[in-house]
Chains A and B, each alone.
Chain A
Amino acid sequence: MKLTSETKLFLGVLVGTVIIVIGAMIAMTRPAKPIAKDKLVSGAQHTIGPKDAAVYLVEFSDYQCPACGQFYTVVKELTDTYKDRLLFVYRNYPLPIHEMAIPAAYAAEAAALQGKYWEMHDALFTNQAALSEKMISSLAQDMGLRMEDFTKDMQSDGVKKIVTDDIALGDSIGINATPTFYLNGVKLNLTTLNDLKVAVTNAIAAEK
């Protein structure tokens, strides 16, 4: 059978495409390498649990994202249950679509300067549905923070840098949604809240 020039051209493109697709599939379907603990944990401002725990969970989160609010309760349960065996690291990753996400992250970091990071963190998630500038001030007052310092710190370059550094780290490892969890450096693909519980429980059990 004599092939027309049109058929030859199509055949060439077809073969080229198949080679590209096969090459890309081979290259891309290799499992992603775990991210080094140093990169995810070192420099983290806020952790719960022993620093040398064999199992570590890093969360990139946004105080205004509804899914983060739902996972907050699961994380709380896990950090309570495995307080001696799990290192939990919280990293800020406020999404631009959430108006109050950045002020909330600044508020948590400003509260940290007065030793009340986790109190503010808990309060922000607990009151997520009603987050506003007024609500943040009210939470800070209820916690007994020095309001003048708190307001000043929220706008300080130091606080902004902590949040910006967390975002830059998230960007550098390809995060584009919240919450994103890394368990022992491996990104978790979670479809339900229970998936996180199962993943952490299994990792802890494997370390026994």
Chain B
Amino acid sequence: MHTKEKTLNRIIFILSIAGLLMGVYVLQSFLRQTGIICLTGGGCEAVRRSPLSYPFGIPVPAIGVFGYAFLMVLTFLRTINHQLGMKLLPWVIGMATFGICFVTWFTYTEVFQIKGICMWCGISALNMYIIFGLSVKSLLIEKKS
């Protein structure tokens, strides 16, 4: 892997861990039905209580945990060798693309339907956008080299 790409992969790995830990924290609150530390007023509670936060019965943070865990494993596997790293890059981009579609849909749902903003969801959405940007950047570097 190119040095720049290696750095980008490390950043995506760290951001995925951060996203995973946030997701676990919010998920436990969904499962235990307990309060969430929230700097956006009662937004997190409003989001947690809304049936819209359980698409197909799955709590939204569980989807986040799965997505970030998948990204974490992919970025880890990319370090094994260059060939595997190249093969898995489209998977990272694919996962990040699904991630940004999902967070965009959920942010829209929060703002216009639930009418409450959850701080953790906002941070996670931003995190996913950064991961997407970095994975695209990796692809561009890969193509150049």
Binding site for B on A (CB under 8 A): 1, 3-4, 6-7, 10-11, 13-14, 17, 20-21, 24-25, 28-29, 31-32, 95, 97, 174-178, 187, 189-191
* 6 new A-B contacts at CB < 8 Å, known A14-B76, A29-B32: A11-B76, A13-B17, A17-B20, A20-B21, A28-B32, A176-B38
B133: chain A residues within 8 A (beta carbon): none
A177–B17 CB distance below 8 A: no
Binding site for A on B (CB under 8 A): 6, 13, 17, 20-21, 24-25, 28, 31-38, 41-42, 44-46, 49-51, 72-73, 75-76, 79-81
A1: chain B residues within 8 A (beta carbon): 80
Show 8 residue pairs from A and B whose CB-CB distance is below 8 angstroms, ordered by the A residue. A7-B79, A24-B24, A25-B28, A28-B32, A29-B31, A32-B34, A176-B38, A187-B33
B38: chain A residues within 8 A (beta carbon): 176
A32: chain B residues within 8 A (beta carbon): 32, 34
- What separation, in Å, do the CA atoms of A176 and B118 have in the docked complex? 12
A6: chain B residues within 8 A (beta carbon): 6, 79
Partner of B42, one of A4, A20, A95, A187: A95
B50–A13 CB distance below 8 A: no
- What separation, in Å, do the CA atoms of A25 and B30 have in the docked complex? 12
A177: chain B residues within 8 A (beta carbon): 35, 42, 45-46
B34–A174 CB distance below 8 A: yes
Partner of A24, one of B28, B32, B50: B28
B34–A191 CB distance below 8 A: no
Interface centre among A10, A24, A97, A191 (most CB of B within 10 A): A10
B6: chain A residues within 8 A (beta carbon): 6
Partner of A191, one of B20, B37, B50: B50
Interface centre among B13, B33, B42, B75 (most CB of A within 10 A): B42
A21–B21 CB distance below 8 A: yes
B42–A191 CB distance below 8 A: no
B51: chain A residues within 8 A (beta carbon): 191
B31–A13 CB distance below 8 A: no
A176–B35 CB distance below 8 A: yes
A4: chain B residues within 8 A (beta carbon): 79-81
B73: chain A residues within 8 A (beta carbon): 14
